[in-house]
Amino acid sequence: MEGKLYIVPTPIGNLEDITLRALRILKEVDLILAEDTRNTSNLLRHYGIEKPLHSHHQFNEHRTVENLIERLQAGSVVALVSDAGTPGISDPGYLLIRACIRAGIPAECLPGPTAFVPALVNSGIPSDHFVFEGFLPHKKGRQTRLKELATEERTLVFYESPFRLVKTLTQFAEFFGSGRYACVSRELTKIYEENARGTLEELILHFSNKTVKGEIVIVVEGAGK
Ligand code: SAM
């Protein structure tokens, strides 16, 4: 029998956001690779799925890829999940997927939840052309990246932590201009979902002097709009 890797997106908050096919695949595979096995066991328990779980995260993926390829070559069918959303999108996945492709092992990504798509679409900012930047570098290379992005005409999409939100919006205002329109999507699909829209200046005011909590996507309109 031929082995196969399935890349399976999981909810980014609302547990109803999982496809019927994702649930079937998770039930059928021999093994599930999870970023955080405790987190994924809770998720699987919710759907009544019991499967062997192995840990696969950014700190061990370089070491485990070779073993996993051997298992897949021996015929195992494996699902890769991350803590939330689609593996490989600001999450581990790429190394294993590339290794499968190089070894001739089929790798198939199921369509499903990922945070940047609802954030982009909710923003009301043009979504026909966009650049997904994920997390900006914290220190080295950050200013250079911001300088490069200042002239980017396509809509920009960033992941950010709540602790750095105001600092990042302030830097965006500095590099892109404080009148640039943006949208901050917080806690998408969860009870306290918020989509705050306005100029960077307005958004800085909105989020300053309060404790910002939850998970965040920032969408910024492109240059010259
Ligand atoms: N693989 C995930 C995906 O497909 O979107 C992203 C994983 S990345 C480690 C986590 C980041 O995704 C968070 O810091 C936040 O920027 C974004 N994110 C995840 N869930 C979110 C949510 N419910 N609302 C807003 N942003 C979210």
Domain harbouring 34, CATH code: 3.40.1010.10
Structural domain boundaries, residue 138? 116-220
Residue 57 lies in a domain: yes
Q: Is the pLDDT of residue 225 over 80?
A: no
pLDDT digits (tens, 9 = 90+) for 157-198: 999 999 999 999 999 999 999 999 999 999 999 999 999 999
Residue 98 lies in a domain: yes
Co-location of 60 and 150 in the same domain: no
Residue 225 lies in a domain: no
Centre of ligand 1 to C-alpha 189, Å, is: 11
Residue 1 confidence (pLDDT): 67
Co-location of 126 and 159 in the same domain: yes
Residue 153 lies in a domain: yes
Highest-pLDDT range among 1-5, 46-50, 53-57, 62-66: 46-50
Indicate the average pLDDT of the chain.
96
Half-sphere exposure of 47 (CA within 13 A, CB side): 22
Q: Is 195 in the pocket of ligand 1 (CB under 6 A)?
A: no
Span 128-144, mean pLDDT? 95
Q: Is 86 in the pocket of ligand 1 (CB under 6 A)?
A: yes
Strand 4-7's sheet: what is its strand order? 53-55, 31-34, 77-80, 4-7, 107-109
Co-location of 193 and 142 in the same domain: yes
Residue 55 vs residues 9, 33, 38, 90, 92: alpha-carbon distances, Å: 16, 6, 10, 17, 11
pLDDT digits (tens, 9 = 90+) for 188-220: 999 999 999 999 999 999 999 899 999 999 999
Q: Is the pLDDT of residue 55 over 70?
A: yes
Which one of 109, 144, 169 terminates a domain?
109
Centre of ligand 1 to C-alpha 71, Å, is: 30
Co-location of 96 and 125 in the same domain: no
Torsion angles phi and psi, residue 37, rounded to 5: -65, -30
Specify the residue with its C-alpha closest to ligand 1, atom 6.
90
Domain harbouring 149, CATH code: 3.30.950.10
Co-location of 104 and 125 in the same domain: no
pLDDT bin (cut points 50, 70, 90) of residue 63 is: confident
Span 81-100, mean pLDDT? 96
Beta strands in 71-129 (DSSP E): 77-80, 107-109
Co-location of 213 and 153 in the same domain: yes
pLDDT bin (cut points 50, 70, 90) of residue 36 is: very high
Amino acid at 215: E
pLDDT bin (cut points 50, 70, 90) of residue 62 is: confident
pLDDT digits (tens, 9 = 90+) for 106-127: 999 999 999 999 999 999 999 9
Centre of ligand 1 to C-alpha 105, Å, is: 28
Q: Is 11 in the pocket of ligand 1 (CB under 6 A)?
A: no
Residue 59 confidence (pLDDT): 81
Residue 183 lies in a domain: yes
Co-location of 124 and 200 in the same domain: yes
Span 20-32, mean pLDDT? 98
Q: Is 217 in the pocket of ligand 1 (CB under 6 A)?
A: yes
Amino acid at 126: P
Centre of ligand 1 to C-alpha 74, Å, is: 34
CA of 161, closest atom in ligand 1: 14
Residue 190 lies in a domain: yes
Centre of ligand 1 to C-alpha 115, Å, is: 5
CA of 86, closest atom in ligand 1: 4
Co-location of 185 and 202 in the same domain: yes
Residue 191 lies in a domain: yes
Which one of 109, 135, 165 terminates a domain?
109
For the chain, how many structural domains are there in total?
2
Q: Report the alpha-carbon distance of residue 42 to residue 20 in Å, rounded.
A: 18
CA of 9, closest atom in ligand 1: 4
